[in-house]
Structures are given as structure tokens and as C-alpha cells.
Amino acid sequence: MNEPSSAPAPEPIIPTPEGNPVLASSAVPQPSTEASAQDSGGGVQAEQPPPEVAQAPFPEEVSIIELQKATLAELQALAESVGLRLNPSRTKHQIIYDICAWMAEHKTRLKVEGVLEIGSDNFGLIRYPAYSFAPMPEDVFVPLFLVRKFGLRASQQIT
């Protein structure tokens, strides 16, 4: 009678990227030929840091008034040049706010000119005469300690 053999079947041999044949069970996918060359020395492979992303050239200073005068296409081009992705459903004033916030995070000074409006809690907001002093997303907040420190009053021209 023929009994089934209990011996395991031989494992297939596959070539590595370097062309060396190895058993299929010991073949581990290597991320690159550099990594396999470094690892072949028997040492532990250190993690390589990710490549640094080049920083966009941020201007040293940006005028909010100039941003308000810019067209929507100019604002989109500016945002793209500093690496900011804009939501297309935002209004022009919301885009100006987004650009100002992004640039402020990257150490760009924001230059503003307008009239100080002081709220009921003694904090201030800088409003713009060109927009009839209407509330805008890009209004600059002036904290209470600055209002007190410099003795600021409502309707003062701030530059």
C-alpha cells in the first residue's frame, strides 16, 4: 500500500533584488538595496530621518490693507507661494484671515492701519474705514492690557 509521505515539501527558492537565491520563508521584502547592504553587516539598522521639506519663502512683513486691495487671484497666488491650501468656498475676507493666520504662525509681521473700536469688555478691534468700519474676519484684536498700557481710546487711528 502506498502511504502518504510525511516529509514536508521542499520550499521554493526565489531570487532577491541583488540576484542571490534564498528560501521563500526567509525572504523578507527589503525597502531598498541600500538598506539591505547596510543590514548585511549584522548590525542593527538605524532609522533614517525623513527628508526635510523646504520651507516656503515667507515675507518678513505683510500689510493687511494691501491684502484687502488685492484681487482674489492675487490672494490665491500668494497663498500658493507660501504653501497654504485654501478652501474654495471661503469669501475674500475669510481668505485674507487665513493668509494672515498662516503667515503669523510662520513669524511674519502683520502691518495694520485702522481705527480702534473698544468693546464693552475694554478690548479693542481695529476696523477699516474703507469698509465703513464693518466687522470683518481680518479685524485685529487688541487685548485689554495693551489698551491700558498705552492709554488707547475708541476712535484712535492705529498704525
Question: Three-state SS for 127?
Answer: strand
And the C-alpha cell for 92?
475674500
Tell whether the torsion through CA atoms of 100, 103, 107 and 113 is positive or negative.
negative
What is the per-residue pLDDT for 77?
93
What is the per-residue pLDDT for 132?
92
What is the per-residue pLDDT for 46?
62
pLDDT band at 50 (very low <50, low <70, confident <90, very high): low
What is the per-residue pLDDT for 88?
87
How far is it, in rounded angstroms, from Cα 88 to Cα 74?
14
Is residue 39's pLDDT more than 70? no
What is the per-residue pLDDT for 21?
57
How far is it, in rounded angstroms, from Cα 95 to Cα 68?
10
Percent over 70 (pLDDT), the chain: 65
pLDDT in tens, 72-99: 999 999 999 999 999 889 999 999 999 9
Name the pairing type of β-strands 109-111 and 61-63. parallel
| DSSP helix, strand, coil percent of the chain (3-state; round to 5) | 30, 15, 55
